[in-house]
Structure formats: structure tokens, C-alpha cells
Amino acid sequence: MRMGDAPGAVEIFKLNVEQFPQEWNVYDSFGEAYLKLGNKAEAIANYKKSLQLNPKNDNGRDELKSLGVS
């Protein structure tokens, strides 16, 4: 994503989620990639999953708040 390839990053994060479905950080990163693509619905879903796995994830909570989700 740092190189401006959000679509490529989404594909990598899909693989991460498949390999590490209980790791909160992969969902947080997946949410970030979808947000960069403008797909707010998928970003929200992934940030919510991240928070479900790690309720102390401040980034996920902050991103959801900025998206108008409480």
C-alpha cells in the first residue's frame, strides 16, 4: 500500500486473513486497504472484526469513529 498499490494490497490481505483468521491486525490492515480503495462497507466490516478479536485496538476504533460508526 505504501507504494500506491491498494488493489494489490487487498489481495495480499485476503491471503493473510485466510492464513491467520484469529489475528486482529490482519483485519485492521485489510480495513485500511479497503478504505484507501474507497470501499467503506468492507473497511467497516474488517475494522469491526479486528475490534472483535482485540477490543483494545485503538486504530480500529478511531477509524470506525471517523467513518461514523459507533
Between the CA of residue 54 and those of 1, 14, 51, 65, what are the distances in Å? 23, 19, 5, 16
Domain 6-66 in CATH: superfamily? Tetratricopeptide repeat domain (1.25.40.10)
**Residue 1: its pLDDT value, please?**
60
CB 24 within 8 A of CB 37: no
- Kindly state the cell numbers that stand for 67: 467513518
Model confidence, pTM:
0.88
- Kindly state the cell numbers that stand for 65: 469513529
- Kindly state the cell numbers that stand for 58: 485503538
Task: Quick: pLDDT tens for 14-65.
Answer: 999 999 999 999 999 999 989 988 999 999 999 999 999 999 999 999 999 9
